[in-house]
Amino acid sequence: MAVLDGLNPAKVFHYFEEICGIPHGSGNTTAIADYCVKFATDRGLKYVRDEYNNVLIRKRASVGKENCEPIMLQGHLDMVCEKNFDSDPKFDFTKDPLRLAVMDDYVYAKGTTLGGDDGIAVAYMLAVLDDNSIVHPELECLFTTDEETGMIGMAGFDASIVKARKMINIDNEKEGEILVSSAGGRKVKCHVPVRYKKGSGLSYDIIICGLLGGHSGAEIDKYRGNANLLMGRLLHFLSGKVDYQLYYLKGGLQDNAIPRESKASVLLDPKDATCFEDLITEFEMTVINEYRQIENNITIYCEAGDLTEERVLTPKTKERVIFLLMTVPDGIAKMCPESQSIVQTSSNAGIMRLRDDYFSLIISIRSSISSEKEALSEKLKFLTETIGGEYIIESDYPAWEYKERSRLRDMVVTAYRELYGKPAHVTSIHAGLECGIIYDKVNGMDIVSIGPDIEDIHTPKEKLNISSTERTWRLLLRVMEMCD
């Protein structure tokens, strides 16, 4: 018996469980694209698959809807892969199926992210395509790839094959909220060259963990701690108080996830061990106090190892690395003047790695104003190059701009009120959505973004609300029925 048997809508949860059994992290979407192609082939549906593993599946209009304008449903196939290392360090996102469970009104995955972002969109689209009783105009269901790593699939998608001029993106995580615009973004890498020398001493691992993390667009306004930058601050705090040599530095897993954990490894004179440990404790107390209303589980500690020899960073190199971590802009840069509840511009230092020949900091920049995105990018470039580093732009995507007139938005607002007797919340989001790219590629595309409640996305605490999934399903069906 499947874990999600008995949940409604039955077909939606059936397909959600099916895709959770297929590894589909960003950059690993071949198998799930194969699944979509087989799904279409088995049902005699026309499809197009491109070199990016994007899959577009078409379905003819239902009886009575043949003369209506076609509509596109869209979501992405990939998911963010985060896990609790202490619960199952051997879990492999490239091989292992997600371990689903149900508790109360929620579906979650044991010890890992669930991939409700954006697996639920995939499940909705497959359920629509598989049900001939649903009333709808001609459908184009677009399954895109690598959204979480720079919207690579949508960026490469040939939109000239698209017939629809209305699109429902299903990548929102808040029921009753209708998104009508989103921020543009840029993923950048700051590479600082490093040099090593031989070092010896007592080894210590420094660990920062227990932070809430979260989506760097949706949760950036909650001022949660960034484990990478806290580690940089801690290393700076130790400098001048105790002599240590740095040889390992790592934190974060995704550029668009606020990093929850980071680790550094150092060598020091054994006589400084007690002082070192006391300083770690002092720093932990300081950070806990600063984040007392935001984070409730911050843990900063050190573990002593053995006397050993390692390749350690030269003093000048260590200084440059810490300088970057101490000065890089992070978090909210500016709120929207029109609505102080919406972030206009931000950045997130999501991944840091110390390699053999360079230190890398990967940052996600977001802004609904293209000039501010460019200005923040230039600031990071100037900072990186000033300390002898290389600045690399990995990906860039445009903002999805608000349309004064939107027939589709009006239909969704009307449908929501009819179904639930209350108004929907029409708003914008600071997170980047693929809507911006398709809006830029297809002239006149009318777009809205909807979705069920998903909590703590991009973290192992992620959970999908079951009853919200059903209500959003009913909304989707009603909007397709209303299309003319």
Catalytic machinery residues: 78, 147
The tokens describing 271, both together, are: 């006589």
What residues does 370 pair with on adjacent strands? Answer: none
Asked if residues 111 and 7 have their Cβ atoms less than 8 Å apart, the reply is no
Please state whether beta strands 358-367 and 139-144 pair in parallel, antiparallel, or not at all (unpaired): unpaired
Task: Return the DSSP state at 296.
Answer: S
Asked if residues 213 and 351 have their Cβ atoms less than 8 Å apart, the reply is no
Please state whether beta strands 331-335 and 106-109 pair in parallel, antiparallel, or not at all (unpaired): unpaired
Which of 395, 329, 388 has the alpha carbon at shortest distance from 359?
A: 388
Asked if residues 350 and 252 have their Cβ atoms less than 8 Å apart, the reply is yes
Q: Which residues of 40-67 are buried (b: 16+ CB within 10 A; e: fewer)?
A: beeeebebbbbebbbbbbbbebbeebee
C-alpha span between 372 and 1 (Å, rounded) = 52
C-alpha span between 274 and 409 (Å, rounded) = 63
Asked if residues 243 and 268 have their Cβ atoms less than 8 Å apart, the reply is yes
Residue type present at position 131: D
Residues sharing a CB contact under 8 Å with residue 86, sequence separation 6 or more, in sequence order: none
